[in-house]
Structure 1
């Protein structure tokens, strides 16, 4: 398939994001509609889609310098954003990027924007340093995040907000979790070295691969020897203080990374819940690959009356729905899909779920409240409100992880029931 078709597919995906569709869903739909894409073409489409969203603030600023007013044809506007991303961040030959974008423009709006696309992209090439310097001087552009998001970061982390923004705009590391039932971290590092893959231990069960590869290339992945999981996400299972024989509830378990990790650490009776059948099936697939078992139930964790058998749990992992603001570098659409008003609704949902799960915890048991958010209203403020509502709850420890080179952003609060 010609480059200009891939450019337009990526531009169409940007349009889907503007309509409220997630990048994961939009990309999957595009690949289903073009089932004949080669592996290289799928990779190119993914790079253009993820990259354009990751750098959208700068790309929009550059485009507005070159074309002051939004174009009447949105598809051409999005095509230009994708082409500008290619010119700034890929190794594609600049002449090819321009020529292919002009070819695609000829198929849109009866071709009346061909000359404009050609002129804009060639003008960018001539004025590249000037245009990028202006974008770098504009906070709304270089942050590549919505203004309201940056304002919230400044309020919450006045000393760290720039580091959070920078960490959220880069490619995420490939971090693995070694299945300790199948071998040690040292053993797996040796296997990676033998396969020509440089890697290092991060502590616990975590290994970072220096150069990301497809999972099918990882030694023993298909056999369950290792899983892909961020180092920050791996803390959850260790925080729960697991021991053989405990009855554990994993609420909102999909896609099953934390479920699998818990079962790798100890022989447990695990009930894994998720409200979405398709996502719950992924939990089953992951456990099957790992050779582990849990009781899978499609249910709403906030409505125990629909599924709970009345037998208390010794441990509960309350991985509640959240803004996912801590994993933006893995899902760059999140920062453009979220709205300031989302947090009130999310907060009510988080509180309702935590309140619904607390009575299911045995006396002396522990519940881990967890999010992949970096905003206090979903984390510390939720904890304070929860403790005020539940006198029999005590917080043993809490931690806010901010996105950095090693890991994504997460929040954990371990609660004990007296």
Structure 2
């Protein structure tokens, strides 16, 4: 099946675009930016949301964008399978629209007739009416031949798992026994997990408020502040949000505060703090003197906003964690959190655009940066103090290998044992894999400074 001959684009002559078509056209524009231009999925969604008034339409927009990003590497391959030659660059938004439509059919399970009809109208709304007939034919062919097409795609690991080849290879190398489960977990929507703000409420109180509002939720065992919702929701509309009773934070990230065990009066450094979730949790746990540092000054307003909503206070500063001379006042810290910049390969289910944007060549520079940060911050830790190295990566190169290099020849550092509840043994630390315990992939290594 070939695309129509190229020619000047013609605007649809219909005076009004049907709402379902307009929504899909907006979603296609956003998806093209994510998949083809490298834009952030969350950023593209935030830009598209204000144009959508109905909460149900906003939910459909979000679900469609997330699932089409998650499955882009599979459903874009569907188009390549059905087309005799690729769509031209000028039809990039039509290409995104078709991937989005296939995601709505195959993943979201929307009615066939509604998806096809609204998508054809959306092609016109995109100003590409010459592709309307092709879109109709492709979507109907997919519906007729879906089983055969998907069987063909399953022969290629990239289109079968909707993961880039480099990442499949890395997961199979580092976690051979768990690789299949990891790849499957990455392609499932992550649950919405909240963290109760101890300064303003209790988990039990929040659960009762949610129950009164008809919101199904439960408090998982082993995570003292966590609440997992049975269904995703607009958190700003949940009881308690406006008064700062909770934040959104995955359970794996909440374990950071458990490991650091902050106590009143401690001086604490969160070295890569933005957007501030872990800083907030540490402040909720104890009256600590906390410095929230981040190299990107543009991200610090978000840290301030989050802390203010929760009724918390910290010193917030811009600074490169690997160059403390520019920001450190000479007073040691009793606790240091290094939530290091990493590949984020452990949170693909939550941020599926990572599969589209991250490259294998990114890993070596990240490893070098992680090592520099650890080496630079270690002298800032007081004797008897503890440093937690954490990443949301699955890759051993960024985790146990970085810790092994840091500990080599360092006689004033002792890696503390972590129990099995923190995941699989991985060098000096532990690795939780995606989906395990309902949580994200996360690495933890706790190091004590020998007095």
State yes or no: 1:10 paired with 2:27.
yes
Counterpart for residue 188 of structure 1: 206
CA separation in 1, counterparts of 2:54 and 2:209? 29
Larger CA deviation: 301-310 vs 148-157: 301-310
Any residues of structure 2 matched to 1:7-406 within 5 Å, and which? 7-17=24-34, 18-31=36-49, 34=51, 37-72=53-88, 73-106=91-124, 111-202=129-220, 203=222, 204-388=224-408, 390-397=410-417, 398-404=429-435, 406=438
Larger CA deviation: 158-167 vs 296-305: 296-305
- Structure 2's unaligned 5+ residue stretches are 1-17, 418-428
CA separation in 1, counterparts of 2:124 and 2:237? 40
CA separation in 1, counterparts of 2:112 and 2:270? 50
Q: Is the 8 A contact 2:74 2:159 kept in 1?
A: yes
The verdict on how the C-alpha distance between 1:248 and 1:183 changes in structure 2, with shifts beyond 3 A counting, is same
1:296 is displaced (CA, Å) by 0.9
What secondary structure does 2:162 align onto? coil
Q: Is the 8 A contact 1:70 1:77 kept in 2?
A: no
What secondary structure does 2:58 align onto? helix
Larger CA deviation: 1-10 vs 196-205: 1-10
TM-score (normalised: structure 2): 0.87
CA separation in 1, counterparts of 2:93 and 2:231? 35
Deviations 1:77-97 (A, max 9, x none): 222111111222335432232
CA separation in 1, counterparts of 2:366 and 2:241? 35
What secondary structure does 2:268 align onto? strand
1:12 is displaced (CA, Å) by 2.4
What secondary structure does 2:190 align onto? coil
The verdict on how the C-alpha distance between 1:386 and 1:220 changes in structure 2, with shifts beyond 3 A counting, is same
What secondary structure does 1:321 align onto? coil
CA separation in 2, counterparts of 1:189 and 1:98? 41
CA separation in 1, counterparts of 2:235 and 2:47? 22
Larger CA deviation: 401-410 vs 338-347: 401-410
CA separation in 1, counterparts of 2:218 and 2:185? 20
TM-score (normalised: structure 1): 0.94
- Structure 1's unaligned 5+ residue stretches are none
CA separation in 2, counterparts of 1:196 and 1:392? 53
What secondary structure does 1:317 align onto? strand
CA separation in 1, counterparts of 2:256 and 2:61? 33
1:127 is displaced (CA, Å) by 1.5
1:359 is displaced (CA, Å) by 1.1
